[in-house]
Chains A and B, each alone.
Chain A
Amino acid sequence: MRLKWVKLLVPVGALLALALGLSSCGDDNGGDESTATSAVPKEFAPVTAAPDGVKTGGELKVLSAGDIDFMDPGGAYYLPTFQITLAAQRTLLSWGPKDIEKPIPDLAEAEPEISDDGQTLEFKIRDGVRFGPPVNREVTAADVKYAIERADLPGVANAYGQLYLSDIVGYSAARKEAADNPTGGAPDIPGITTPDDRTLRIEIKQPPKIAIAQVISQALSLPISAPVPEEYAKEFDAKNPSTYGQFVVFTGPYMVQNDCVDDSGKVVNEDCSGELTGYTPGKEIKLVRNPNWDPDTDWRPAYLDSIDIQEGFTDTASASRKILGGEDEVSGDFPPPKNVLKEAAQDSEPGQLQLPELPGYRHISMRTDKPPFDDINVRKAVIANSDREALRNTRGGPLIGTVATHYISPGFPGFEEAGGLKGPDLDFIANPNGNPELAAQYMKKAGFKSGKCEGSDCEITMVGDNIPPGKDTAEVFKSQLEDLGFKVDFRPVDHAIMYTRFCSVPAQEPEVCPNVGVAPDFRDSQVLLAPSFSGASINPQNNTNWPMLDVPEINKAIDQARLIADPDERAKAWAHVDELVSEQAPAVPWVWENFPIIQSTDVAGVVNLFNASWDLSFTSLK
Chain B
Amino acid sequence: MLRYIIRRILWSIALLVICSAVVFTIFYVLPTADPAKLRAGKAASPEQIELIRESLGLDDPKYQQFLRYMAGVFTPYKNEEKGVDGPFDLGTSIFQNNKPVREVIFDRLPATVFLVTGAVVIWLAMAIPVGIISAVKRRSLLDRTTMITSLAFISAPVFWLGLVALYLFAQDVGQFPIFPGIGSYNDAESFTGRAESLILPWLVLAAATAAIYARYLRSQLIDVMSEDYIRTARAKGLSEQRVIWRHGVRSAITPIVTLLGLDIGVLLAGNAILTESVFNIPGIGKETVTAIGQSDLPLIQGIVLFGAFFIVILNLIVDILYAYLDPRVRYQ
Q: Which A residues fall within an 8 A CB radius of B? A: 2-3, 5, 63, 66-67, 69-72, 77, 154-155, 157, 159-160, 162-163, 179, 182, 240-243, 245-246, 279-284, 310, 312-315, 318-319, 321-322, 325-326, 494, 496-497, 499-501, 504, 519, 531, 539-542, 544
Contacts and interface: CB of A to CB of B under 8 A. Distances in A.
B44 interface: yes
B75 interface: no
Interface stretch (B49-57, B303-311, B321-329): B49-57
B282 A494 contact: no
Interface in B72-99: 92-93, 95-99
A544 B42 contact: yes
Interface in B279-297: 280, 282, 286-287, 289-290, 293-295
Given A500-B38, A531-B43, A282 B186 contact: no
A2 B171 CA distance: 11
B41 A246 contact: no
Contacts of B287: 282
B247 to A, nearest CB: 48
B42 A312 contact: no
Contacts of B172: 322, 325-326
A539 B295 contact: no
A318 B173 contact: yes
B290 A66 contact: yes
Nearest to A179: B51
Contacts of B99: 246, 281
Contacts of A66: 290
Contacts of A501: 31-34
A307 to B, nearest CB: 14
B265 interface: no
Contact of B52 (A157, A279, A310): A157
B61 to A, nearest CB: 20
Contacts of B278: 315, 318
Nearest to B277: A314
B228 interface: no
Contacts of A72: 97
16 contacts: A77-B42, A154-B55, A159-B42, A179-B47, A282-B282, A283-B108, A313-B280, A314-B280, A315-B278, A319-B183, A319-B280, A497-B31, A497-B32, A497-B33, A500-B34, A544-B43
A539 to B, nearest CB: 6
Contacts of A322: 172-173, 181-183
A77 B55 CA distance: 19
Interface residues of B, number: 53
Nearest to A504: B37
A186 to B, nearest CB: 15
A63 B187 CA distance: 12
Nearest to B111: A283
Interface in B163-199: 163, 166-167, 172-173, 181-183, 186-187
B173 A154 contact: no
A282 B38 CA distance: 17
A542 B40 contact: yes
A162 B34 contact: no
Contact of A162 (B39, B45, B55, B97): B45
B38 A241 contact: no
B237 interface: no
A411 to B, nearest CB: 21
Q: What 10 pairs between A and B have smallest CB-CB spacing? A: A159-B41, A496-B33, A281-B96, A500-B34, A500-B37, A154-B51, A283-B282, A541-B46, A497-B33, A245-B97
A55 to B, nearest CB: 22
A313 B48 contact: no
Contacts, number: 155
A219 B318 CA distance: 60
B60 interface: no
Interface in B1-57: 31-34, 37-49, 51-52, 54-56
A459 B289 CA distance: 35
Contact of A160 (B31, B33, B43): B43
B136 interface: no
B286 A282 contact: yes
Most buried by B among A157, A241, A315: A157
Given A159-B40, A159-B48, A245-B98, A312 B54 contact: no
B46 to A, nearest CB: 4
B59 interface: no
Contacts of A542: 37, 40, 42-46, 49
Contact of A70 (B49, B51, B97): B97
Nearest to B54: A154
B40 A157 contact: yes
B104 interface: yes
B107 interface: yes
B33 A494 contact: yes
A160 B92 CA distance: 24
Contacts of A500: 33-34, 37-38, 295
Given A281-B104, A310-B280, A496-B295, A2 B173 contact: yes
B182 A283 contact: no
Given A312-B282, A500-B33, A541-B37, A318 B42 contact: no
Given A310-B186, A321-B173, A322-B182, A157 B33 contact: no
A280 B282 contact: yes
B282 A319 contact: no
A542 B48 CA distance: 10
A318 B40 CA distance: 33
Nearest to A72: B97
A281 B96 CA distance: 5
B41 A77 contact: yes
A548 to B, nearest CB: 16
Most B CB atoms within 10 A — which of A69, A71, A280? A280
B40 A312 contact: no
Contacts of B52: 154, 157
B41 A496 contact: no
Contacts of B163: 315, 318
A12 B159 CA distance: 29
Given A71-B97, A501-B31, A5 B167 contact: yes
A337 B112 CA distance: 28
B275 to A, nearest CB: 11
A137 B141 CA distance: 77
Contacts of B92: 241
Interface string B262-278: 00000000000000011
B55 A315 contact: no
Contacts of A319: 182-183, 280
Interface string B226-265: 0000000000000000000000000000000000000000
Given A245-B97, A322-B172, A542-B45, A315 B277 contact: yes
Contact of B98 (A154, A243, A280, A284): A243
Given A501-B34, A544-B42, A496 B294 contact: yes
